[in-house]
Amino acid sequence: MAGYPFTSALVTGASSGIGEAIAHELGRAGVPAVLVARRRDRLAAIAEQYDGFEVLEADLTTRSGQAVVTARIGSSTQPVDLVVNNAGFGTSGPFHEQDVERLTDEIELNVVALTRLTHAAVGAMVPRGRGWVLNVSSVASFQSAPNLGVYAATKAFVTSFTESIHAELKGTGVVATALCPGLTRTEFQSVSSTESYIEQMPGFVWTTADEVAQAGLRDTVAGKVVSVPGAIYKATVAISGVTPRPVSRFVAGLVQRR
């Protein structure tokens, strides 16, 4: 069991995937947590396994849902010192064939909600001189992704935004970290209609939600600005940083046509 310095946490998108894995990791470590998602029944099933867990049902694609969660983050009587912005989804396929309302919700959740919750977290943590924000991004944030263009763009925002906030917070006692996993077996594949990746991509390129959760929390505690779980993806990110963008776009296009 890992030991963490957090006294309390709030995790969005906690009903499945990486968010659920982070919730269990915190629960096993004895860290009380507020679990946020739309599916109250799934949150309750997780919360009942651990002491001090709280369920907060909210739809973060709406401003009203965002307001409920920012209010909880900003509570002075029940403060949280770790906020994990994990809620998000993707949409795959040719951009012009996609439902623009779904894409708008994707941007609202992946970008707007994350920004508003991070603002609430940092605003509450800086005066206390202590806190951690873990924003879940993706290795897709480092390159173009044909047929996942909006998703990759939202994650590019998350990584760049978190890097900027991390620098701003230096010396405050508050840390912001971007977690950038690669292919991870979660409900993301079914929600984003990328189930074909499971058959197309070899087993060794896949990480588990537990591996990602543990790496993200460990790197957050270490004060890292970017956390990339898995040796393959660390190398991928390093290479992408020195690869000319035309070459990167060409390779991304080949992968998507597989």
**Is 56 a member of any domain?**
yes
Do the domain assignments include residue 77?
yes
Amino acid at 10: L
Number of domains in the chain: 1
Identify the CATH number of the domain in which residue 39 sits: 3.40.50.720
For position 198, what pLDDT does the model report? 53
Look up 151 and say whether it is catalytic: yes
Give the pair of three-digit tokens for residue 197. 């990746």
- Output the pTM of the full model: 0.87
207 in a structural domain: yes
* Domain interval for residue 235: 9-256
Q: Catalytic one among 4, 151, 197, 233?
A: 151
Residues whose CB is less than 8 angstroms from the CB of residue 152 and which lie 6 or more positions away in sequence, other chains included: 138, 140, 141, 143, 144, 145
Any domain includes 1: no
The whole-number pLDDT of residue 250 equals 37
- Looking at the domain assignment, is residue 243 inside a domain? yes
Residue 123 is assigned to a structural domain of this protein: yes
The residues of the chain scoring below 70 in pLDDT are 1-2, 186-204, 240-258
Residue 79: inside a domain? yes
Q: Does residue 2 form part of some domain?
A: no
Answer for the pair 203, 183: CB distance below 8 angstroms, yes or no: no
Write the pLDDT tens digit of every residue in 170-179: 999 999 999 9
